[in-house]
Structure 1
Amino acid sequence: MLIEVENLVVGYQKTPILPAVSFAVEEGEVWGIIGPNGSGKSTLLKTLLGLLPPISGKVKLNANTRLGYVAQRHALDPAIPSRVVDVVTGGVELGWSFLNPTHILKSRERIQSAMVDADVLKLKDRQFNELSEGQKQRVLLARALASDPQMIVLDEPTSAMDQTAERQVFELLGELRKKRGLAVLLVSHHLPVLGEFATHAIYVDSDEQVMIPGDIETVCHCNECVTRYGDALHRHRHTEECNH
């Protein structure tokens, strides 16, 4: 178990915005946080990451769990020129480790491996702000991979992308999950593709006061999700399973 959530209540200034939720993320699982705009998805994500204190309940990380975080792309200042390799290198926290040659060597190896796995090695000397949206997302994935995480958390990783680039990002996440045994937790509005790749989901709606976690089949068939999205999740998941 990488992360365990027990009776977690999220909100601001001691005011809950959603009911309590409990779930656990295991190695290799892909969890999608879904729901309408303004439903509390980002609040839940920030609380899971420790950026917001919970109103009540607990978020427990396994003592050995290493997290990699991929923020939305606008979090990087486009006015600051950075090469791809510099952005990826930022995923390795060196601290005083420059005094340790062994650590430096391992860090370089992780950076190289991350760029290879995210398919951005050929872009390493390009300026980040000159890349396409899909390329930028792969670079930020490589940055997260450079910390050698067991779980990657992504905030709307395919926003501002066309359908082709969106699918390529999800396919890359699927490959990384298999190759590295990664767990993935992401906020997404793109249900058709998410329905194909996710193993689990959390449906969030602060207006209706619901928070429903579970395996993808359970969540996509719950009344609240069907009312909001119809069979968007289930239809595309079924199509993908038939194709295999």
Structure 2
Amino acid sequence: MTSAVPMYSIEPVYLATFLCTIVVCLCIFKFIGPWIMRRVTKKYDTLSYIKRVEVNETMMALAHSAVVGVASWYVYFTQDDIKPTLTRYNSPPVLFIDSIFFGFSVSDLVLLVIYRVFGLPFVLHHMMAAFNGYVVLAYRSMPYYCLTGMMMELSGPCTNMRFLLKVLDVDQTSTLYVRNSVAMLVSFIAFRITANGINLYNLFWLAFTDDFYQLTLAEYVSFVGGLLVFSVLNCYWLRKMIKGAIRLLHGQKKYDPTFF
């Protein structure tokens, strides 16, 4: 079932999914997101051009994280053939989800380059995500680790919602803002930290097998390098969220501008 010989082409069905995802994402950014926001709040049209771009991108990211996150956790609990000990093989459910993830990453990267409203670290993050998506599709590589990595996306909707509430100047002491902040922290631990831990544990034991040393440089960069980077980022983000939660519990009205 495993193979030491990597592939370098993307099958037509996954390429079509990738391209369709780009079209859908750009439609959400350009048409669906603004349409929804204008019906939710009148504040949308009062925002500056840059803020509207950020809101539209966030709506696109929210939809993506919900779809990919739910699909990933569903596959994780229902597909028994996706094993952490198998490094390179064809797993259609994972490849379909990764096609969507890859399509979103490329769409977002294009928007970031065109509109230039986000910083360089954000662009580099999306470049790495797009690279990871390509490696999985082209090499049929590490489907278990791809899946557990995408499971982290389910923490995204609450984080995206927090950004929308902040941009729309929702009072940070309001019930809506506080509840979303609590949900953001809980979902971050339940989905992102849990999936990150599963990934780290299994990759550690995989490193003691022969198959691990048959991977290419691109795969090491994608999975080992990517996991280490995201582990550090997740710990950093979790620390900021916990500090924000503590301030929230103490009734402070000035919260961290990044979280809570």
Regarding TM over 0.5, the answer is no
Query: Which structure has the higher relative contact order (CA within 8 Å, separation 6+)?
Result: 1
Please state which structure has a larger fraction of its residues in helix. 2
Q: TM-score, normalised by structure 2?
A: 0.24
The structure with the greater share of residues assigned to strand is 1
TM-score of the pair, normalised by structure 1: 0.26
